[in-house]
């Protein structure tokens, strides 16, 4: 019977001592190169500004472990790639643990303490697990190779929309070379590992403690039998083994040495990016520190260390680019390319021993590695990129910080600049007198309370478009009727309300935003109310997520949540059901920003509508194009707008009657797009409030008064 201690893997048998010493010398050199490379990366991050993401480290670490363990961010919208990556990831982790286990015994425990455990049953299970892990790793890598070479996915192209063919950084072939070098080196390490294992089995086929247990290494055993079948003898295997051993070993050590300088470092940077992610990234933008001389990011050293970490975490997967509405309609923006440009710039400047002069650190402009002004202004700040990124890169906050610098320098569209001036002067984007903010209510058959003078249960923050846009005013009046019919004690700020500032902030005009936010907070603090409701998701987002930073913490709800509750409680009585075939567009600021997906759909079900989802819905909803201040910036003549792209998506739904929205800006954008995209007459765009209003059972006297008011 074989002694269990003999059942183990042969490491250095038949090697001369000088050969072993030389291998260890290469190993220590690789480790030293890895440590130095890691130091240079940390030095680069330390050249960024401070970031307050250090709180709750244990919770952050555990969330990162769960994310990586489940691969939940990688399987979303690309399950095959996510599963292939899981094979690579878990294969690598298990093989790394296996190698570390061997090192622990062979180099530490055995020589220092005489402790040995790598034999017998432990070794056999160890061998089986690592064989399966290595096989899975190779399968995952093969799929990734197939995906890059033959699937021709647009998101894996590195050609840039904001450059022209012939520009030095238009096609960026270095990234393709890096991808293939990574894949080939990794797969060769895996394959040569199995071939080396098979060669060892053939070499020691006459030794029972090895050959009798070969099936615990099933992949290696299968290769060993194949080698024997083609005529490899134990003597031939013994001759082949040293060269193969050196090739496999040096390739593995080179892989380790190059980790900090290549794509391989995403093993660490992606984990750190996930750990330090901001759960409110883009939903809550950072304030400008009081001691900061200028707003936003002008130079690469204006970025925080976490921003610089995010740049390195990007795996170039292209999911953000695929989800970006600006990219979808041909605007010169790819969120991935913004991140890669800044990464290239950071590597070319911050990796140097001495920092270049400040003028050489400017990240705005037309040179290689700089980001174009047109690129930054193309962003809708819809968070589609942030939401889908598997490694938690925060594209939008970086883009907004760069916009802040552009705004400070006056580098923006003249119409946008005029709109910002209008908002500063009048408190709204329409340039209307503050006294007209509640003019829409004059024809109602009931009075709406002034929350500045009368206590109310719910304060309604109306918003600019719902207050001043004639089409949206109809919706606003309908919602007032719903609230009144339900007996809700509500009121308005009237001329005390100003633009909430959500889009002003995302344009990059932080000074104006702070003025608007503090003014609204002051008006709200003078009122007596329990909660806020708004029909505007943009206002909802900033009041909910950003006003607390300025001292204004309130309970706030989007109208859909309030109306759903009123319907469920029977306070709103429906006189009929609708049999419309509808689709619903998730507003970015209600859905992706604040996870408000269900209430509008539940209401549609209560109304009796047949809901048919568009392909892009919920967290993958497609932006209308108005966000980030783009509603105030004219699109180039002849270009397709995101709203038109969305209309085409809805237009393929057979029998569609109503395209339902729940945002004033959506109503504006999509009604215009309906006319220009050729679907007028096929279906209509309606606010959810209008459908509810159509079903309502109002008191007869209220209906009569409304009819009289409208006729007048």
| Stretch 232-236: mean pLDDT | 95
State pLDDT tens for residues 132-185. 999 999 999 999 999 999 998 999 999 988 888 888 888 889 999 999 999 999
Residue 1 has pLDDT above 70, yes or no: no
The last residue of one of the domains, among 273, 304, 320, is: 273
DSSP symbol at 107: I
> 604 and 572, same structural domain?
yes
Query: What confidence category does residue 294 fall into, taking pLDDT thresholds of 50, 70 and 90?
Result: confident
Determine which helix (DSSP H) or strand (DSSP E) holds 582, and give its type and residue range: strand 581-584
Query: Does the residue 519 lie in any domain?
Result: yes
246 found inside a domain: yes
Q: Is residue 45 part of a domain?
A: no
- In degrees, to the nearest 5, what angle opens at C-alpha 10 toward C-alphas 6 and 12? 135
Joined together, the tokens standing for residue 660 give 């339902």
Shared domain for 513 and 618, answered yes or no, is: yes
Residue 278 lies in a domain: no
Residues 160 and 210 in one domain: yes
- Does residue 50 fall inside a structural domain? no
The answer to whether residue 705 scores a pLDDT higher than 70 is no
SS3 365: coil
- For 89-132, the pLDDT digits (tens) are 999 999 999 999 999 988 899 889 988 888 899 999 999 999 99
Neighbour count for residue 9 (Cβ, 10 Å): 15
| Structural domain containing residue 227 | 4-35+55-273
Contact 651, 677 (CB under 8 A): yes
Give 700's pLDDT tier (boundaries 50, 70, 90): low
Give the residue carrying structure tokens 């238009």: 170
Q: Residue 128 has what pLDDT?
A: 96
What integer pLDDT is reported at residue 711 of this predicted model?
A: 45
**Rounded CA separation 453/459 (Å):** 12
| Consecutive H or E run containing 383 | none
Lowest average pLDDT, out of 210-214, 287-291, 421-425, 656-660, goes to 287-291
Question: Beta-strand (E) ranges in 84-180?
Answer: none
Say if residue 678 is in the same domain as residue 695. yes
Domain CATH code at residue 360: 1.10.1060
Q: What is the CATH number of the domain that holds 30?
A: 1.20.950
Task: Supply the pLDDT for residue 384.
Answer: 98
Question: Which pLDDT score is estimated for 621?
Answer: 97
For a pLDDT cut of 70, what percent of the chain falls above it?
Answer: 98
Strands (E) in 585-699, as ranges, are 610-611, 658-661, 684-687
How many other β-carbons are positioned within 10 Å of the β-carbon of residue 577?
11
Structure tokens at 321: 């680019």
CA distance 63 to 67: 6
CA distance 272 to 310: 9
- The confidence score (pLDDT) of residue 10 equals 85
Task: Write b or e for each residue in 61-89: b if 16 or more Cβ atoms lie within 10 A of its Cβ, otherwise e.
Answer: eeebeebbeebebbbeebeebbbbbbbbb
Same domain, residue pair 399 and 471 = no
User: 432 and 369, same structural domain?
Assistant: no
Which of 411, 426, 455 is the last residue before a domain boundary?
Answer: 411
Question: Is residue 11 domain-shared with residue 158, that is, in the same domain?
Answer: yes
Residue 278, pLDDT score: 95
pLDDT at 639 over 70: yes
pLDDT, one tens digit per residue, over 309-348 is 999 999 999 999 999 999 999 999 999 999 999 999 999 9
| Token pair recorded at residue 79 | 């399950």
Whether 177 and 98 share a structural domain: yes
Is 405 in the same domain as 425? Answer: no
Q: What is the pTM of this model?
A: 0.94
Q: Check residue 245 and give its pLDDT.
A: 95
Q: Are residues 371 and 511 in the same domain?
A: no
Q: Are residues 655 and 611 in the same domain?
A: yes
Query: pLDDT tens digit string along 20-47?
Result: 999 999 999 999 999 999 999 999 999 9
Residue 80 lies in a domain: yes
Q: Is residue 284 part of a domain?
A: no
Compute the mean pLDDT over every residue in the chain, rounded to the nearest whole number: 94
| Same domain (yes/no): 602, 473 | yes
- 10 Å CB burial of residue 642 (0-12, 13-18, 19+) is buried
**Closest by CA position to 695, among listed 566, 574, 559, 567:** 574
Could you report the per-residue pLDDT of 362-381, keeping only the tens digit for each? 999 998 889 999 999 999 99
Q: Is the dihedral of CA 81, 87, 93, 95 positive or negative?
A: negative
User: Looking at the domain assignment, is residue 689 inside a domain?
Assistant: yes
Query: Domain end: 384, 411, 438, which one?
Result: 411
Q: Domain total for the chain? A: 3
Share of the chain above pLDDT 90, in %: 87
């Amino acid at each position: 019977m074989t002694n269990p201690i003999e059942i183990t893997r042969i490491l250095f048998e038949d090697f001369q001592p000088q050969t072993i010493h030389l291998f260890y010398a290469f190993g220590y050199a690789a480790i030293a190169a890895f440590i130095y490379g890691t130091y240079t990366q940390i030095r680069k991050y330390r050249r960024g500004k401070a970031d307050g993401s250090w709180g709750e480290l244990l919770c952050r670490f555990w969330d990162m472990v769960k994310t990586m363990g489940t691969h939940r961010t990688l399987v979303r919208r690309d399950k095959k790639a996510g599963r292939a990556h899981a094979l690579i990831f878990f294969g690598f982790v298990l093989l790394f643990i296996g190698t570390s286990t061997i090192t622990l015994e062979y180099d530490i425990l055995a020589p220092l303490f005489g402790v040995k455990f790598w034999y017998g049953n432990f070794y056999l299970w160890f061998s089986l697990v690592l064989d399966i892990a290595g096989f899975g790793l190779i399968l995952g890598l093969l799929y990734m190779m197939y995906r890059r070479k033959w699937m021709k996915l647009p998101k894996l192209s590195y050609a840039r929309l904001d450059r022209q063919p012939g520009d030095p950084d238009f096609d960026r072939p270095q990234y393709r070379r890096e991808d293939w070098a990574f894949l080939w080196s990794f797969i060769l390490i895996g394959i040569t590992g199995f071939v080396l294992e098979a060669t060892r089995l053939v070499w020691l086929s006459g030794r029972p403690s090895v050959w009798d247990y070969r099936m615990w290494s099933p992949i290696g055993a299968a290769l060993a039998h194949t080698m024997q079948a083609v005529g490899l003898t134990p003597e031939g295997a013994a001759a082949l083994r040293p060269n193969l051993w050196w090739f496999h070993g040096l390739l593995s050590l080179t892989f380790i040495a190059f980790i900090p300088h290549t794509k391989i470092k995403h093993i660490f940077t992606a984990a750190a990016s996930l750990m330090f992610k901001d759960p409110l990234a883009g939903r809550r933008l950072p304030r400008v520190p009081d001691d900061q001389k200028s707003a936003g990011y002008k130079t690469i050293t204006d970025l925080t260390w976490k921003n610089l970490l995010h740049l390195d975490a990007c795996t170039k997967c292209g999911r953000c680019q695929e989800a970006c509405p600006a990219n979808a309609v041909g605007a010169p923006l790819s969120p991935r390319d913004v991140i890669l440009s800044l990464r290239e710039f950071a590597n070319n400047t911050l990796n140097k021993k001495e920092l270049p002069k400040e003028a050489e650190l400017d990240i705005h402009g037309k040179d290689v590695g700089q980001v174009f002004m047109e690129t930054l202004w193309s962003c809708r700040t819809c968070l589609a990129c942030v939401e889908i990124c598997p490694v938690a890169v925060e594209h939008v906050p970086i883009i907004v910080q760069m916009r802040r610098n552009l705004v400070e320098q006056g580098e923006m569209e003249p119409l946008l600049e005029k709109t910002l001036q209008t908002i500063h002067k009048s408190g709204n984007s329409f340039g209307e007198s503050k006294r007209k903010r509640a003019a829409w209510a004059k024809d109602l058959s009931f009075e709406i309370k002034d929350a500045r003078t009368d206590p109310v249960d719910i304060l309604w923050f109306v918003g600019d478009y719902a207050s001043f846009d004639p089409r949206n005013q109809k919706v606003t009046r309908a919602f007032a009727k719903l609230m009144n019919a339900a007996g809700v004690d509500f009121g308005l700020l009237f001329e005390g309300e100003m633009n909430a500032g959500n889009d002003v902030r995302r344009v990059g005009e932080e000074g104006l935003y702070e003025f608007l936010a503090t003014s609204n907070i002051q008006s709200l603090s003078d009122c007596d109310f329990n909660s806020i409701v708004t029909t505007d998701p943009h206002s909802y987002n900033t009041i909910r997520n950003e006003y607390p930073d300025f001292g204004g913490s309130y309970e706030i709800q989007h109208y859909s949540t309030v109306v759903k509750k009123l319907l469920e409680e029977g306070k709103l009585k429906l006189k009929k059901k609708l049999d419309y075939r509808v689709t619903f567009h998730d507003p970015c600021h209600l859905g992706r920003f604040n996870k408000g997906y269900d209430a509008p759909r539940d209401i549609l079900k209560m109304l009796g509508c047949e809901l048919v989802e568009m392909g892009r819905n919920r967290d993958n909803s497609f932006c209308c194009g108005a966000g980030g201040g783009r509603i105030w910036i004219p699109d180039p003549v002849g270009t397709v707008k995101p709203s038109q792209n969305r209309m085409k998506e809805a237009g393929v739904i057979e029998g569609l009657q109503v395209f339902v929205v729940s945002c004033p800006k959506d109503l504006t954008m999509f009604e215009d797009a309906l006319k220009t995209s050729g679907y007028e007459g096929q279906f209509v765009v309606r606010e959810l409030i209008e459908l509810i209003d159509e079903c309502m059972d109002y008191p007869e006297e209220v209906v009569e008064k409304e009819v009289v008011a409208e006729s007048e």
